[in-house]
């Protein structure tokens, strides 16, 4: 006889953890199924370890600028192997921490990989064999996985997951892609002393972000030492690990010790056997309504598996909103309309609201005013080198309402997080203008620009 649960959550990533703990707090009997470590993409192989690598790699520029501030440095060496080991140790610590949080919350953690037997039953394959469980409600929160292009030799390349497993870094890496994962890893690797070439299919980086901002990131990345090649796609990879050659769509050859495919991610649904439960899919993604419900009334999905806004805070809020609505008697929905995002490239990019291009498309070019400030921050005034900051406000002319706030430069994400509050409250350009600046700071330009 199958064990019965009020809620079974498949996947212990950000959304699954948030939903399971909140549902348990509301009194539900909850089981959480995970076949890997606890924490999901963000904690194990994404945001957290990546940001630690960003911090580690940024020391190259800090040390290069030190002499301008009177610091005499003699021999300085980078040991990527030590950094990688330290990052893995921190991930292990966080994994254990999240397991402890589940225990305190009263959530049963089941180790194994689940698939549907029918709409209310799951089979969980773990170390002790296969277990059959029954659930009143099921939440799918299995996240995404890196996409590997279907080209000859693709199996020779890394995907983003693989980079975190490396004991050390090679002398050179060719990166395929132009999104935030590609750009972030390009800057990380260059900062850690790796020669980096980045192959970009389009004529610009970071599609979907404000074009002026993406151009500013490109300028900074090239100054950092990333070789960017535009209008090219990989056609095949030859050689063997440690000695690879990527042949591009123009017939060019690019040797590198390693190749990183950063060409997007897909919902991780391939092994769930969703068709057995009658859950509708669009490709690999699971479409849901505003209450996170699939076409099967008692089966829900949150996070990257729905392929809407694939960000950790969104998955967490979706998970909590689901639990509050279904088990807490407090119906609410996640608001996807104004979500801030960041690219932890070097220079950093952060954005909330409409880009200049989106605003003009939606409202008309004559209905939009754009205010911007471009300058080298005080932190780089003495070295007289390094990327310039770009701060930008997109404003609706008729109402004076700020539709978008965007920034490239130091502390962009920290600054835009606060700007997001203002935009969410409907702030106007006049509201920004009458706010006293905090001097000297980069952020003050948002309230002093003409």
pLDDT, average across residues 114-129? 93
Within 13 Å and on the Cβ side, how many CA atoms surround 290? 7
Would you state the structure tokens that stand for residue 347, as one six-digit string?
């220079």
Which domains, and CATH codes, for the chain? Answer: 3-145+266-326 (3.50.50.60), 148-263 (3.50.50.60), 347-448 (3.30.390.30)
**Candidates 79, 115, 204, 439; catalytic one:** 439
Cα 344 from Cα 206, distance rounded (Å): 12
CA–CA separation, 449 vs 121, rounded Å?
A: 59
Tell me the DSSP string of 357-395. Answer: HHHHHHH-GGGEEEEEEEE--GGGTTTT-SPPEEEEEEE
How many Å apart are CA 169 and CA 193, to the nearest integer?
9
pLDDT by residue (tens digit) across 284-325?
A: 999 999 999 999 999 999 999 999 999 999 999 999 999 999
In 201-336, beta strands by DSSP E:
227-230, 234-240, 243-248, 253-256, 258-261, 265-267, 299-301
Rounded average pLDDT over 385-391: 95
Q: Is the dihedral of CA 361, 363, 367, 368 positive or negative?
A: negative
Compute the distance between CA of residue 129 and CA of residue 112 in angstroms, rounded to an integer: 9
What does DSSP assign to residue 285? B
Q: What is the mean pLDDT of the chain?
A: 97
Q: pTM for the complete prediction? A: 0.96
| Per-residue pLDDT at 1 | 57
Which among 19, 30, 33, 105 has a CA at the least distance from the CA of 324? 19
**Res 110 pLDDT > 90:** yes
Taking only the tens place, the pLDDT of each residue in 21-64 is 999 999 999 999 999 999 999 999 999 999 999 999 999 999 99
Find all residues with CB under 8 Å of 126, minimum gap 6, and list them. Answer: 35, 110, 111, 112, 113
**Catalytic annotation on 439?**
yes
Q: What is the pLDDT of residue 127?
A: 78
Say how many CA atoms lie within 13 Å of 188 toward its Cβ: 25
């Amino acid at each position: 006889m199958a064990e019965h649960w009020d809620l079974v959550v498949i996947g212990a990533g950000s959304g699954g953890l948030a939903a399971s703990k909140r549902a348990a707090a509301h009194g539900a009997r909850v089981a959480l199924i995970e076949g890997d470590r606890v924490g999901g993409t963000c904690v194990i192989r994404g945001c957290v370890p990546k940001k630690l690598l960003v911090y580690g790699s940024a020391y190259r520029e800090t040390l290069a600028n030190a002499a301008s501030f009177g610091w005499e440095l003699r021999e300085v060496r980078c040991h990527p192997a030590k950094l990688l080991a330290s990052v893995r140790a921190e991930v292990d610590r966080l994994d254990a921490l999240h397991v402890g949080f589940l225990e305190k919350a009263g959530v049963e953690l089941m180790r194994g990989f689940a698939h549907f037997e029918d709409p209310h039953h799951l089979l969980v394959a773990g170390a002790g064999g296969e277990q059959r469980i029954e659930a009143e409600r099921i939440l799918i929160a299995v996240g995404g996985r890196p996409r590997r292009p279907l080209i000859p030799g693709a199996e020779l390349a890394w995907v983003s997951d693989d980079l975190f497993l490396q004991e050390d870094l090679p002398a050179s890496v060719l990166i395929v892609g132009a999104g935030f994962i590609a750009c972030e890893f390009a800057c990380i690797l260059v900062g850690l002393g790796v020669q980096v070439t980045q192959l970009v299919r389009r004529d610009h980086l970071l599609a979907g972000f404000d074009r002026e901002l993406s151009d500013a990131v490109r300028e900074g990345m090239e100054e950092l030492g990333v070789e960017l090649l535009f209008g090219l796609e990989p056609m095949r990879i030859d050689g063997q690990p440690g000695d690879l050659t990527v042949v591009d769509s123009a017939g060019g050859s690019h040797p590198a010790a390693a190749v990183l495919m950063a060409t997007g991610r897909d919902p991780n649904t391939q092994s769930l056997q969703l068709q057995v439960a009658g859950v509708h899919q669009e490709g690999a993604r699971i479409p849901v309504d505003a209450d996170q419900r699939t076409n099967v009334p008692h089966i829900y999905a949150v996070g990257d598996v729905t392929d809407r806004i694939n960000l950790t805070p969104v998955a967490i809020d979706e998970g909590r909103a689901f639990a509050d609505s279904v088990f807490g008697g407090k119906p609410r929905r996640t608001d996807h309309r104004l979500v801030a995002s960041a690219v932890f490239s070097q220079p950093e990019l952060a954005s909330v609201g409409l880009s200049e291009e989106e605003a003009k498309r939606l409202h008309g070019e004559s209905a939009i005013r754009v205010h911007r400030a471009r300058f080298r921050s005080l932190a780089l005034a003495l070295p007289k080198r390094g990327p310039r900051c770009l701060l930008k406000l997109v404003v609706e002319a008729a109402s004076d309402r700020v539709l978008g706030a965007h920034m490239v430069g130091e502390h962009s994400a920290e600054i835009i997080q606060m700007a997001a509050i203002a935009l969410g409250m409907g702030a106007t350009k006049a509201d920004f203008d009458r706010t006293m600046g905090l001097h000297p700071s980069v952020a003050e330009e948002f309230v002093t620009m003409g």
